[in-house]
Structure formats: structure tokens, C-alpha cells
Amino acid sequence: MNFVVEGFGWIFDPANIGGPQGWIARLLEQLSYTFGAVAIGAVIAIPLGYLVGHTGRGRDIAVSLSGGLRALPSLGVLILIGLGLGIGFKAPLITFVILAIPPILAGAYSGFEAVDRKTIDAARAVGMTEWQVITQVEVPLGLPLLIGGIRSGVLQVVATATLAGYISGGALGVFIFEGTSTRNYAETLGASILVTALALALEGIFALVQRLVVPRGVVAKEATDLRPRSSRPQPVMGIPIHEGK
Amino acid sequence: MKWVGSNLDLVWELIVAHVGLSVPPIIIGFLLSIPLGWVANRFRISRGVILLVLGLLYTIPSLPLFIFMPLILGTNQLSSANVVVGLTIYAIALMVRSSADGLASVDDDILQAASAMGYSAWQRFWRVELPLSGPVLLAGLRVVSASTVSLATIGSVIGVTSLGYLFINGFQRNIPAEVITGIVATLLVAVVFDLLLVLLGRVLLPWNARDRTSSRQARRQAVLLAEGVS
């Protein structure tokens, strides 16, 4: 427990908080990486995901891409790009964009796919153009899943942004690496606590946002039964109503 | 290629260390996720608690998690147990949803039929429920395997040897070929694990091969789940 006290001691030491070398500045760098990478990733992934979701084409490619990229070690990619572009913020940013794309892509196309086919047929039947179907039906109804993908992207990038410090790219990881190389465990621990708190705070904010973006009129489907219903037709009590009679 | 040729021994040694770091979390995570998934399905309140706690654990970034481990486990700061336990926590967090979904995917009628045939609850679980949830479990396990192999590289930052050593060393000595070797070797380990899992699935779940659509569906579902979209 002694170490935990030292870790918090490091966090609350005024010498470590303010200024360009303080943790507030580093935390802001971490946030800039996160939202910068997710924003660039979203610009690339959302249109692509919508295209896949709307046309239903390329779904298998998208799935294998997500599955495959999971095995790609981000530290290796970061260092490789870092060796190519030199130290600074560019190499980490590119790495984090690569990291942010799969979850946002998955959120975008699965959001479109989750829309009930009958709803889309109904939209066409009332005379909506293809563009209107996309913008007024599929986009709003797919929004909760898209936000889910963005949330996941933000969490992955904010966690990995810690590694930027390894190639002198700033952010909170700077303290972790400084602490491990100078055997200052309090500093390493303090910075680790900050990174974790930041990730948990972002997770909390996104959980809230995800609830707020469910369009009005769409009642969030809460699972009432944990087990799927039986596939066998259930006996109906009383007199069955036959349509058309 | 020249770099790889003259450092084959080192690369092989690191691959062995990497496999040693990533296999225990995958197996332990899988084994623990099944009872947890079962409990998550059984009661509404346990589902909420289990999924919330695991969701929060999964949110903790890997590097800090490895750094917290010596405080929790009382291990040495350079001990590989820190990475193994950390990776196991991630594996459980990723796998429990798949296990719960897999067990819930078994048709209720089949379970009732098994009970009607005289299976006890215990027999029914082992002989009916678990085998039939196999495709979903397998799909989840493949995602866990890829993710664990990739995350094990981070251990080298805190001094636990894995293929990540090639990244660190390659960076310090400015040898891009060494870093590329590390990336390719990590991907190779992940692909071999994946193939072994698919093969294991073929052997243990022979009926799965005939049902291509449902195993593809399970794979898709598992990937989406891991991306936080479900």
C-alpha cells in the first residue's frame, strides 16, 4: 500500500502538475492524440462503413480486416513508423488512426445492418429517395451502434496513446517510461493511475452519450429474456385470430 | 531478410518466450470464462455485475495494468507473472460475453428434450449445452487469441521478454528490419494459433464444418463484440 500512497503523492505534488512538463499538459496531449486520431479515423471509416452497410457488400472483408488487425502489435507499428518519420507526434498519430479505424468501421456498418428491413421497405414505400433512406432512416437508427464503435475506438486509442511517450511523442506515457528508466516507481505508478482514470472517465462519458443518441420514438430494446425464445410455435390461449376473416 | 538470417536464434528464442507468455492467459481465460458466462446467464443481477466489472477491467490500459500487478500480486516488478495475469484478465473480460452468448444460443427445446430424456442438470451441461455452444465459444476464443498474442508484446516495455523485445531493441539501435521482423513474427504466431484453434474446432465440433453459415455468423458476431459493437 506504501507504493499507492507514493503514487498519489506524485500526482498531487505541485511540481508535477502544472507547466509544460506537468501532467496536465501531458494529459491534454493524450486527449489530443485520442480525439485527433478518432476524428481522422471517423472521416475515413464512417463513409466506408455506411457504404458496406447500405449495399451489404464487402462485409466479409470488413470482418476479416477487424479480426486481422487485432493481431497487429501497435507498439511495433508505432516504432516502425517512428523510425521512418522520426520522433514527434506524426508517427503516433498515424498509428492511432490505424487503430481507430476497425471499431468505427464496425460500428458504422453494423448500425446500418441492424435497421429492420421492413423499416427500410416502408421508407421506400412512402416515396423516400435512396439518399433520404440513408440520411433520414439508416443514419439515425444506426447511430447508437456507431457511437458504440467510436466509444470503443476512443478507449483503444486513449490506452495506446500511452506508448507515444516511448518514441518521444509526449502524452502521459512519458512519465511511465521516465519512471521505469530512472527506477522511480512512484512516478510510473502515478502516471499509470492517471491513464487509467482518464480511460475510465471517457468510458463513463461515452456510456452516457450512447444512451442519449437513441432517436426519440425508438424504444431501446432491453432484453427481457436472457434465453432466446423457443423456436417451436407456442400454443395460443383463447381463440386464435385469423387474419382476413 | 539479412537481419533475420543472422539472428535466427534470437528470433526463435523470443518466439518461444512469446508463446509461453500468451498461451496460459488464453487457456485460463477460456476455462474461467465458462462458469462466469454461465452465472451471467443464470441471474439478471449477476449478469449486470459480471459484465460491468469485466467491462471496467477491460478499460484499464495494458501498460498501467502490468504496472499495477506487482502491487496486487506481490510479485517482483520484472516478473513475467505480471504480464501473464494481466493478459488473463483481458482474456476473461473479452471471453465472458462470448461464453454467455454461446451458452444462451442453445435452443431451449433441445435442453428440455435432454431433460426429458433423463439427463441431470450436470450431464445436460457437459453433454448438450457446452458442445452445442462450441461454435460461438470457438469464435470468441479466436478473437481472444489474436488480441493476447498482440498485447504480449507490450510486456517487453516493462522488461518481460517477448517478441516486443525486437521493437525496443530495433528502435534503440535504429534497425527497421528488426522491428519488421518483430511485427511479422507476432502476426505469424497469431496466425498459427488461429489455425490451431480452427483445426481444434474441426476435430471437436465436426458438425460445425457442415454448417458454414452459422460458424461464419458466430465469427462475425465475435469480431463485432470485440470491437465493442453488439
Domains in chain A with CATH codes: 2-12+22-215 (1.10.3720.10)
- Chain B partners within 8 Å of A71 (Cβ): 146-147, 149-150, 186-187, 190-191, 194
Confidence of residue A222 (pLDDT cuts 50, 70, 90): very low
pTM of the model: 0.87
What tens digit of pLDDT does each residue of B92-147 get? 999 998 899 899 888 889 999 999 999 998 999 999 999 999 989 999 999 999 99
What tens digit of pLDDT does each residue of A86-145 get? 888 899 999 999 999 999 999 999 988 888 889 999 999 999 998 999 889 999 888 888
Q: Is A203 within 8 Å of chain B by CB?
A: yes
Confidence of residue B218 (pLDDT cuts 50, 70, 90): confident
CB–CB contact B164 A76 (8 Å): yes
Four-residue CA torsion sign, A199, A200, A203, A204: negative
Q: Which residues are within 8 A (CB) of B41 and not within 5 positions of it... i.e. 6 or more apart?
A: A226, A227, B47, B100, B103, B104
Which grid cell sits at A216?
426519440
Cα angle B145-B146-B151, degrees, rounded to a multiple of 5? 100
Residue A237: what pLDDT?
58
Residue A234: what pLDDT?
55
Confidence of residue A228 (pLDDT cuts 50, 70, 90): very low
Residue B214: what pLDDT?
77
Who wins on pLDDT, B178 or B78? B178
Q: Is the ipTM of this complex over 0.95?
A: no
Nearest CA in chain A to B57: A200
CA dist., res. A71 & res. A39, Å (int): 23
Section A192-211 average pLDDT: 90
CB–CB contact B229 A145 (8 Å): yes
Which residues in B137-157 are b (16+ Cβ under 10 Å) and which e?
Answer: bbbbbbbbbbbbbbbbbbbbb
